[in-house]
């Protein structure tokens, strides 16, 4: 389970983000904080893996929380990642968040599907890091950072693939109870089997799905695809 602490001064937004996290298999929302002081207290007490961090807080800024957790005084304590979620568009705040080690920076307003997508990417990246050997290659590093930076992943779509269809295929696979074949995806989306397979192969290469071979009594094995992220969540806009 990935333990998540939600930090936001807006009670409604904090509740929305808490409920989204709680709806995703593999995640658990362990607490909510509305101030910088409470955030630091809860990080020390609850030891989250990930903090959804707003930058507008009544007694300070989210970057002050980042700096405090990354300070030498906290060296050797439980490692924690930060996903910044804020309406602050000032480049200095973006720079401070990046320097503080934020895995990503989501600007409000955004649909909750964007947060769900980022959480799914984070979960896949954590699995890849956990499964990695003692040495890594540039390709491994590029894929990890690509998972945490969805814009970069979108830009890397192979020629002929579109973002809209990619999200349609991803959503179909995400909402399935089990694995699907290219024929199953074709029937559910209306795209051709060949097109469905191209997108499914891309999602596997992107680390968000995996290919499984199903062997029957005779003939060639069937290609089955399974979503590696988490389950579907709400799609209402977040403030």
> Residue 238: inside a domain, yes or no?
no
CB atoms within 10 A of CB 77: 11
Q: Which of 225, 212, 159 is nearest to 186 (CA)?
A: 225
Q: Does 170 share its domain with 103?
A: no
Q: Does 24 share its domain with 79?
A: yes
> Residue 164: inside a domain, yes or no?
yes
Q: Please, which pLDDT band fits residue 96 given cuts at 50, 70 and 90?
A: confident
Cα distance between the two ends of the chain: 27
> Residue 122: inside a domain, yes or no?
no
* φ, ψ at 206 (rounded to 5°): -80, -10
For residue 82, pLDDT beyond 90: yes
Following DSSP, what letter does each residue of 34-72 receive, concatenated? Answer: -SHHHHHHHHHHH--SEEEE-SEETTEEHHHHHHHHHSG
Q: Does 42 share its domain with 102?
A: yes
Place of tokens 């192979």: 158
- Overall average pLDDT of the 169-187 stretch: 91
> Residue 127: inside a domain, yes or no?
no
Range of weakest confidence among 18-27, 75-84, 141-150: 141-150
| pLDDT score, position 183 | 94
Q: Does 155 share its domain with 213?
A: yes
User: Which residue would you say has higher pLDDT here, 160 or 11?
Assistant: 11
User: Which residue would you say has higher pLDDT here, 133 or 122?
Assistant: 122
Q: Does 143 share its domain with 206?
A: yes
CATH number of the CATH domain containing 194: 1.10.10.10
Range of the domain at 196: 138-227
Last residue of a domain, one of 108, 128, 154: 108
Q: Does 23 share its domain with 67?
A: yes
- Overall average pLDDT of the 165-173 stretch: 88
**How many structural domains compose the chain?**
2
| pLDDT score, position 76 | 64
- Overall average pLDDT of the 22-39 stretch: 95
- Overall average pLDDT of the 82-109 stretch: 85
Q: Does 96 share its domain with 145?
A: no
- To the question of pTM greater than 0.75 for the whole model, the response is no
| pLDDT score, position 235 | 35
Last residue of a domain, one of 62, 88, 108: 108
For residue 238, pLDDT beyond 70: no
> Residue 67: inside a domain, yes or no?
yes
């Amino acid at each position: 389970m990935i333990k998540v602490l939600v930090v936001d001064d807006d009670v409604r937004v904090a509740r929305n983000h808490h409920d989204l996290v709680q709806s995703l298999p593999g995640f658990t929302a362990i607490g909510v904080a509305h101030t910088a002081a409470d955030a630091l207290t809860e990080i020390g007490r609850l030891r989250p893996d990930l903090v959804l961090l707003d930058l507008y807080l009544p007694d300070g800024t989210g970057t002050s929380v980042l700096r405090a957790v990354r300070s030498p005084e906290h060296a050797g304590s439980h490692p924690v990642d930060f996903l910044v979620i804020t309406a602050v568009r000032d480049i200095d705040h973006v720079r401070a968040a990046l320097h503080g080690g934020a895995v990503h920076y989501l600007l409000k307003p955004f649909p909750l599907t964007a947060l769900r997508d980022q959480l799914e990417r984070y979960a896949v990246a954590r699995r890849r890091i956990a499964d990695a050997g003692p040495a890594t290659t540039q390709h491994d590093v590029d894929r990890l950072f690509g998972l945490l930076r969805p814009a970069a992943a979108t830009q890397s779509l192979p020629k002929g693939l579109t973002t809209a269809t990619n999200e349609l295929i991803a959503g179909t696979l995400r909402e399935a109870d089990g694995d699907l074949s290219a024929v199953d995806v074709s029937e559910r989306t209306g795209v051709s089997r060949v097109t469905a397979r191209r997108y499914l192969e891309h999602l596997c290469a992107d680390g968000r799905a995996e290919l499984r071979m199903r062997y029957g009594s005779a003939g060639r094995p069937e290609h089955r695809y399974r979503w590696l992220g988490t389950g579907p969540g709400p799609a209402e806009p977040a403030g």
